[in-house]
Amino acid sequence: MYILDIITNMNNKLLIQTLRNVTFVAVYVFFVSQIMQNGDRLFGEVDNMLAPFVFLLLFSLSAAVVGGLIFGQSIMLFFSGKKSESIKAALYSVGWLGIYTVLGLILLLVLK
């Protein structure tokens, strides 16, 4: 019974940590989307080679930030020898991201 309690607490802790990480991803994506949505108002009409360069830099930064938040904990668990927790963390993170995506799509339909 004691081992089952430890596993349950570990899974709950892992669920909460992955939810926190994916919430940070959602907030980050929201802010980046607002920059992209309001780029003309923020930076004016840009018609030079700097705009695509900065866009690709932002895209690369976003891939690194989101990848770190989604899979960083899984990678750290994996290299700590906790392979099963690593897989669970990755699956939980992708699951939470899927839930946020579905909620966003529902919100778009409701606000239509």
Asked if residues 66 and 28 have their Cβ atoms less than 8 Å apart, the reply is yes
CA distance 7 to 79: 20
The length of the chain, given as a count of residues: 112
Domain boundaries, the chain: 2-37+47-110
- Residues in contact with 100: Cβ distance below 8 Å, sequence separation at least 6, in sequence order: 22, 25, 26
Task: Give the whole-angstrom CA distance, residue 20 versus residue 28.
Answer: 12
**Taking the model in full, what pTM does it have?**
0.82
35: three-class secondary structure by DSSP: helix
Each residue's pLDDT tens digit, 31-72: 999 998 988 888 888 788 888 898 899 999 999 999 999 999
